[in-house]
């Protein structure tokens, strides 16, 4: 049930409504779908990563295709692909998982190129979130996030490598602002109030 091996009697068990036979579920209850011999809740992970809607214990809306599998199993997309259409081996991808980019209806990791002979896209080392280049002219992916242990010259954003915590940096900043404000206030008093005396 929900991806965890559970001893289930041949009668209905808990909210999943799993009816077991031969070590597998054969029927499921409301909000559960029969997937790979188990009952998966379509409102929670991991069930909703495959099927988002079920009726009578059967999946009626697959995540990968956005369609009713009509009693069949939800199609499995190629690696890195979140939504796809077509038959196994000739599938076209329309949406990629995080860490991948879409090129010619296929998903590629942010770190590798698409291998195209014309207008090729190249990956970026240690990139974990990216988008393909715009304009259709090829080039490097736009990398949004890199691993912290990046060996490249860029840090992938603002990285604190000095060892101070964010709280310590904030405290030091506030102290400096208070000292500067006090100094400005004293100088204003000195020149304005003392100048009149």
CA 40 to chain CA mean position, Å: 21
CA-based nearest residue to 164, from 173, 155, 153: 173
pTM of the model: 0.52
72-127: per-residue pLDDT in tens?
778 788 888 888 888 777 888 998 988 999 998 999 999 999 988 888 999 999 99
Asked if pLDDT for residue 158 goes beyond 70, the answer is no
CA-based nearest residue to 130, from 159, 170, 101, 172: 101
Using pLDDT thresholds of 50, 70 and 90, give the confidence band for residue 6.
Answer: low
| Mean predicted confidence (pLDDT) in 11-26 | 74
Helix ranges (DSSP H) in 74-165: none
Instruction: Give the pLDDT score at 108.
Output: 94
> Looking at 3-17, 99-113, 129-143, which range is the least confident one?
3-17
Asked if pLDDT for residue 57 goes beyond 60, the answer is yes
Helix ranges (DSSP H) in the chain: 166-196
Using pLDDT thresholds of 50, 70 and 90, give the confidence band for residue 44.
Answer: confident
Rounded CA-CA distance 101/103 in Å is 7
Q: What is the mean pLDDT of the chain?
A: 80
| Mean predicted confidence (pLDDT) in 12-21 | 72
């Amino acid at each position: 049930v929900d991806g965890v091996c559970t001893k289930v009697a041949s009668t209905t068990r808990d909210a999943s409504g799993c009816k077991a036979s031969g070590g597998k579920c054969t029927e499921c209850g409301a909000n559960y779908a029969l997937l790979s011999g188990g009952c998966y809740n379509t409102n929670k992970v991991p069930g909703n990563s495959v099927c988002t809607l079920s009726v009578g214990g059967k999946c009626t809306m697959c995540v990968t295709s956005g369609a009713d599998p009509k009693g069949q199993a939800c199609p499995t997309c190629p690696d890195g692909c979140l939504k796809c259409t077509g038959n196994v081996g000739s599938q076209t991808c329309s949406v990629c998982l995080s860490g991948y980019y879409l090129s010619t209806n296929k998903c590629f990791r942010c770190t590798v190129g698409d291998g195209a002979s014309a207008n090729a896209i190249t990956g970026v080392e240690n990139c974990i979130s990216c988008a393909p280049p715009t304009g259709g002219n090829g080039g490097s992916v736009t990398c949004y996030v890199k691993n912290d242990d990046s060996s490249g010259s860029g840090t992938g954003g603002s990285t604190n490598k000095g060892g101070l915590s964010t709280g310590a940096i904030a405290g030091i900043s506030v102290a400096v602002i208070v000292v500067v404000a006090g100094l400005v206030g004293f100088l204003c008093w000195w020149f304005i109030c003392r100048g009149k005396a």
